[in-house]
Structure 1
Amino acid sequence: MKLASVIGTVLGVGYIRPAPGTWGSLVALPWAWALHVIGGFPLLVLAIVVGFFKGWWATATMTQDQDNHDPSEIVVDELIGQWIAILPLSYAAWSMEISILAMWPGWIAAFALFRLFDITKLGPVGWADRMDTPLGVMLDDVIAGVLAALGVLALAALYHGVL
């Protein structure tokens, strides 16, 4: 249970109040930057895949025999979702060999859009959340991250005159 708690709460970040989900999303940003700097887009993708499965296991372990399928201290789902929202920035920086920090407006958009979709539970995010399972806990943030990433792409296209 101890390892599950370390993973699920992202080293205890999930115990920070108020708004532990927002704290989980915030801590994801410097970690995404570090992963990108160390190994570029491929390492960030690998971290998302590995983190998803570790988060699913940690969530299942932490909520076993409990009525609450999604306790607020579990924030590994926010970490993964926020990393997904950052993927368009990582790919662009990696493929064009530019600093990912040069796209700082995209970081702000990725954070704001991810929190918007995660909090409001619009459309498929709400569907996943209503699964009431450890998989649903992870999936709602994965979907929120994908929607945020699409929003980042749309905003970048608008800014750069593509749309």
Structure 2
Amino acid sequence: MTDDPGQPPLQPLQPAPIRRPSLRFMFRHPAHVIALGFGSGLSPVAPGTVGTLWAWLAFIVMRPVLTDLHWALLLSLGTLVGWWACTVTARHMAVADPGAIVWDEVIAFWLVLWLVTPTGLWGQLAAFALFRFFDAVKPGPVAWADGLFKGRTGQPVGWAQGFGILFDDLVAALCTLMVLALWRWWQ
């Protein structure tokens, strides 16, 4: 409120955006730990690529002990928990889709690896390169998915924007899987 009736009411102050989260920020809330890919999103260089590499390593470690049913459950729960974690973390950072949030890369690349398995190192490397291409360059449907849930500048981050963080990476995963399927079919 203002004392001058001719002036518009004062708006509450918005927190300053956090561009590069710290280790301290990550451990302030469990959602931050998940959304920042257990620290892989803290990389000052190419956090999306580092998060995808972390996902690949975690997949290699977990693959021998998880059945397909376990993977399906992990991906389903990971998507739901990730939606919450990405929304909360983006809100706390006051940025709609911060690059440090890499849980979207983790879930999407786990989906790719799970669906292309069994494949060798070269197949996984091709999946990695294609996924990073689709996620970073955002051609066609990935660009559409990326813009679908974006809010207006200055708008608080809500559940739709949190879902949007995940959605474009899931579309990038589907594009990756389609290219790999076409490549296998063509051979």
TM-score (norm. length: structure 1): 0.83
* Structure 1: tracts of 5 or more residues without a match: 94-99
Which residue matches 1:26? 53
Greater Cα radius of gyration, structure 1 or 2: 2
| Aligned-partner Cα distance in 1 for 2:94–2:32 | 17
Which residue matches 2:5? none
Helix, strand or coil at the partner of 2:37: coil
| Aligned-partner Cα distance in 2 for 1:65–1:73 | 12
The aligned amino acid for 1:104 is L
Aligned partners of 1:84 and 1:149 also within 8 Å: no
User: What is the CA RMSD across the aligned residues, in angstroms?
Assistant: 1.7
| Aligned-partner Cα distance in 1 for 2:123–2:100 | 27
Equivalent runs, 1:100-115 vs 2, <5 Å: 103-115=120-132
1:137 aligned onto 2:165: yes
- TM-superposed deviation, 1:46: 2.0
Which residue matches 1:120? 137
Which residue matches 1:62? 89
Aligned partners of 1:52 and 1:80 also within 8 Å: yes
Which residue matches 1:2? 29
* Structure 2: tracts of 5 or more residues without a match: 1-27, 151-160
Structure 1 runs of 4+ aligned residues shifted over 4 Å read none
Helix, strand or coil at the partner of 2:44: coil
Q: Which has the higher helix share?
A: 1
Task: Tell me how many residue pairs correspond in the alignment.
Answer: 149
